[in-house]
Amino acid sequence: MVILLAAILATVGFIVLMRLLWLARRPSASSAVIAAAALSLIVGLTILAATGRLHWIAAVGAALLPFLRRGFSLLRYLPIFKGLFGAYQQYSRKSGDGNGRAGGEGTMSPDEAREILGLGPSPTRDEIIGAHRRLMQKVHPDRGGSTYLAQQLNEAKRVLLKTAS
């Protein structure tokens, strides 16, 4: 009996919302009627989904369908999201190219590498390796550190070992 009542409640709420929000050019009904119809639709669909008479994805789709007409006006904001996504892709390309090297645009200078590792003007091979190991223990991604900083340390070690040899 409860399931039948929930189905009737959801159907009435759906029909009222479709009539007020979708089929009418301008909704002229008061917001109280729209809220009551939306609430009855959501309650009815929730009961049907909870009892297993209606799949929850179908319930969500049916609950959102009457409001879809107003959702089309949100499409004008898509260029903003496209710009944000492009900025994110550009940032991710700058921060690392997946080769284990920091940044794909160039190599690090020996002065930058010494500054990153905190070494003096002419470090020995053992000093380079020791400084790298000490700093890597602090910033390693497996210990909750940053992938970017680990890449920078690896690049600094590579550059300094190449020039020290």
Q: Which of 2, 43, 38, 42 is nearest to 20 (CA)?
A: 38
Query: Model pTM greater than 0.75?
Result: no
Q: How confident is the model at residue 102 (pLDDT cuts 50, 70, 90)?
A: very low
Share above pLDDT 70 across residues of the chain, in percent, rounded to a whole number: 67
Six-digit token string for 106: 């160039």
Q: Tell me how far CA of residue 116 lies from CA of 109, 137, 151, 153, in angstroms.
A: 11, 15, 11, 7
Residues 21/27, Cβ–Cβ less than 8 Å: yes
124 vs 107, higher pLDDT: 124
For tokens 């260029």, name the residue.
79
Rounded to whole angstroms, how far apart are CA atoms 71 and 1?
35
* 126/150 Cα distance (integer angstroms): 19
What are the tens digits of pLDDT across the range 43-52?
A: 888 888 888 8
DSSP state of 119: -
